[in-house]
Amino acid sequence: MFPALERELKQEALPDPYEDFMYHHLQYYGYFKAQRGSLPDCATHQHVWKRNPRYVLNDSFGERDDLISHTLQKEKLPWSTCLSSAVHKQREAVSRGISCPSRPENSGSCMGMPSPPEKEDVHLFPFPLADSLMLNSPLLRSKQLLYDELDEVNPRLREPQELFAFFSTRGPLQAPRWPIECEVIKENIHHIEWVPPQPEYFYQPTGDEKVPEIVGEEKGTVVYQLDSVPTEGSYFTSSRVGGKRGSIKECAVTLQGPEDNTLLFESRFESGNLQKAVRVDTYEYELTLRTDLYTNKHTQWFYFRVQNTRKDATYRFTIVNLLKPKSLYTVGMKPLMYSQLDANIHNIGWRREGNEIKYYKNNTDDGQQPFYCLTWTIQFPHDQDTCFFAHFYPYTYTNLQCYLLSVANNPKQSQFCKLRTLCRSLAGNTVYLLTITNPSQTPQEAAAKKAVVLSARVHPGESNGSWIMKGFLDFILSNSPDAQLLRDIFVFKVVPMLNPDGVIVGNYRCSLAGRDLNRHYKTILKETFPCIWYTRHMIKRLLEAREVLLYCDFHGHSRKNNIFLYGCNNNDRKYWLHERVFPLMLSKNAPDKFSFHSCNFKVQKCKEGTGRVVMWRMGILNSYTMESTFGGSTLGSKRDTHFTIEDLKSLGYHVCDTLLDFCDPDQTKFTQCLAELKALLQQEIHKKLNEFGHNMDLEGSWSDISLSDIESSTSGSDSSLSDELPVHLRNIADEFNQKKKALKKKKKKALQTRKQRNEQYQKNNLMQELKLTEETLERAGYASTLQKQPTFLKNSENSHSSTMKNEKPRLKETQLIGRDKGTSLDPSMTTLILTKNKEKMQSKKLGVTVSCTPKGSTNSSQEPVPGMKSNWPRTRYPVTKRGRADMVVYPSLHIYTYP
């Protein structure tokens, strides 16, 4: 018999693992006693479980399968009862801390198929099965239904927070997922962290730097080239671990012997992005960077490897397709180099290297967009070495996972740092969310905590943000008294890598949607931009629960030195200049790294879709983008030196230090900063006026000048411009907007509360009764003493509006005391609030009070209506046992209330 056929027959004879698991799982709890054959087709469910779009937030892995099985339709009642009871038991288990263990991706983990239950091991139902049961069971009711943007129900259950067990010492890390077009080498690239013992100074141009002429592959020899790279016109379809299937093609040339000194290039690893290398001379190479996937631009970041080096030779590298007209390479920035032999032997890591550095315009023009070149020379430290070159210190998705693994396995840090999945990226990679805070003693203490939201790597080529984020996490997770204090008073929500897909493939600015995520924070396309859609909605929910004191997104800057912030001007004079206090404090805490004068607070139209502006418009006053240079500092003791990894990590500490200064109960520092800001602003206004030839005394009126008119623009490069959505996404967005507009038109009038209905009912009846009374008096020959709009009615309305105004602060105070759901107010505080409000009501002068007795009621108690005055005769009622004030009623005037 053929071996392949024999294997197939053996496989058919074996029980299906999914069916076997479900049978044992349900039988274990005593809910299912049917035959195994009555279960749904396991192969279909297993297929959906591994590639269902709800886990990767897009339909990249295929169309959604129909999950309704005929068997389940026949067994609605037993299965629905089984599911609800089993899920209840599972939720109890999860609340006790029993969760799904993490295993390798293809060995039946929570990400794949669940394993059979053990005695102390409880697993969650896979959602394809849960969906089927929910759709077919008329008895199953759940509060976990998901709603879309139009408040329409999606027939699927909300994903439990504990569904994914991220890290465990029993299994490996989740492997990165690549687009299926990308070839990926199997080597694991690892670099050590190292701080140079001496400052690394900027390169000082001599003026004699060579400007090599671009030769191209017509006159040179292609020694490295990637063939199938998706560019503009194509779009992301699907992904898998390891990228493209099949054997990896050899992109570099084959050496002809030991004397062949051709360099061997490679970049098919995490964050690498070299497209082509052309040898134009013995030791001279022209390099072409790969554009961001599914685009034809954004070439700035570079990261690649060379092998077969020679020690005594001087090599020249020229990158020929950079797009930015301005660069820090024109003011002394050097490329980074890493020697594998130096790292292994001398423990030396990344260092700034290069001579004859020149940034200039390319002399070739393709008629579409101008290109710019970066050229430099280098001497390698060893023969036959493996060296890397990079635009900045790389920080990959695997680096982040290794760091989070160490946090999850730390018994102390894991107590106050909770790791969750915010969402899945377009390719299915996990976007992690960290919640960092010390456990609170009481619900009131937990509700009183303010929130701080930090994020990084929305632009994947700006690895500066990850190093600042690492420094922040190192400090906030430490045993430092300041860190413990910050955890006591704040809840930190941290998204350390917003764009993991772009980081993995080596993009500079875009996600796999081919668009800049930091221009789409207002997006409605959840499946296309899941990372920022879920981030925005996470912050929106957070704002409903507590005040967000600070939002900051960490970025890198390619045209300016130092570190600085972009913020948003506040038009409310009550908080005038307050958004500038935190940046000024940070500049005082890190004077040799942070430049306040480089900060900008102007909100431009082209930046309306950025995280900074969107969060500011959502109500976060202190909303910032932190820009860290790729170069170095021009300030203080670090003047004219490159930033190291340690410099960037130290800024994460300074952010924490500045938070403590900013929230210090002693407002001396805050007041001093405000005074200094006013003085600086006055100087800036005088400077601007002098430039235009005006001489004006600004005393008393200078603070009314718009701050946006004073500051210059933060733009200056093509990176500020936002590309339109591609056609296939634009159509989806247009259809969604049309549906949303149609839904708004169909919306019914908002329902009124009982109190509002009663008030409206009272007003209408009062007007009718008064009109009838006036007509009766006129017929009796009396002069009309009533106006068409009675004064007491006006007073009643004014009194009601003032009462409502007085109630608002009381409601806010109540919400502050018990903000969390299920949190009751302190009894003594509740009594105090009610007593004060009763005293306020009794202190008001009461005029005419109208009967609020329903028709046919015999109850003689009357409700007072304050503020009503009239010359009408009135009847006084004695004070009752309930403590009511004197009541005044009109004869035969009845006002009815709704029950």
The catalytic residue among 627, 676, 775, 797 is 627
Q: Which of 558, 609, 590 is nearest to 656 (CA)?
A: 590
Q: Who's near 38: CB < 8 A, 6+ residues apart?
A: 71, 75
Q: For residues 227 and 509, is the Cβ–Cβ distance under 8 A?
A: no
CA 109 to the chain's CA centroid: 27
Name the strand (E) or helix (H) holding 6. Answer: helix 3-13
Please give the Cα distance from 677 to 750 (Å, whole number): 46
CA 444 to the chain's CA centroid: 27
Q: Which of 79, 76, 84, 82 is nearest to 136 (CA)?
A: 76
Q: Which of 307, 277, 505, 461 is nearest to 388 (CA)?
A: 307
Please give the Cα distance from 682 to 457 (Å, whole number): 36
Q: Which of 480, 434, 474, 463 is nearest to 554 (CA)?
A: 463
Name the strand (E) or helix (H) holding 734. Answer: helix 727-746
Strand partners, 626: 554, 565
Q: Which of 29, 122, 39 is nearest to 75 (CA)?
A: 39
Count CA atoms within 13 Å of residue 743 on its CB side: 10
Q: Which of 425, 350, 412, 369 is nearest to 57 (CA)?
A: 425
CA 496 to the chain's CA centroid: 9
Whether the CA torsion 510, 513, 517, 520 is positive or negative: it is positive
What tokens appear for 735 in the block?
Answer: 């259809």
Within 10 angstroms of residue 288's Cβ, the number of other Cβ atoms is 21
What tokens appear for 779 in the block?
Answer: 């017929």
**Helix 76-95 / helix 17-29 crossing angle, nearest 10 deg:** 80
Three-class DSSP category at 179: strand
Beta strands 351-352 and 417-424 are unpaired
Sequence letter at residue 163: L
Please give the Cα distance from 770 to 788 (Å, whole number): 9
Please give the Cα distance from 85 to 817 (Å, whole number): 36
**Helix 645-662 / helix 481-489 crossing angle, nearest 10 deg:** 50
* Phi and psi at residue 265, to the nearest 5°: -100, 155
Q: Which of 387, 557, 547 is nearest to 462 (CA)?
A: 557
The reply to whether 839 belongs to the active site is no
Q: For residues 628 and 563, is the Cβ–Cβ distance under 8 A?
A: yes
Please give the Cα distance from 726 to 667 (Å, whole number): 50
Q: Where are the beta strands (DSSP E) in 282-416?
A: 284-289, 303-307, 315-322, 336-339, 351-352, 355-361, 372-378, 387-390
* Phi and psi at residue 241, to the nearest 5°: -65, 125
Within 10 angstroms of residue 572's Cβ, the number of other Cβ atoms is 8
The residues assigned a catalytic role are 627
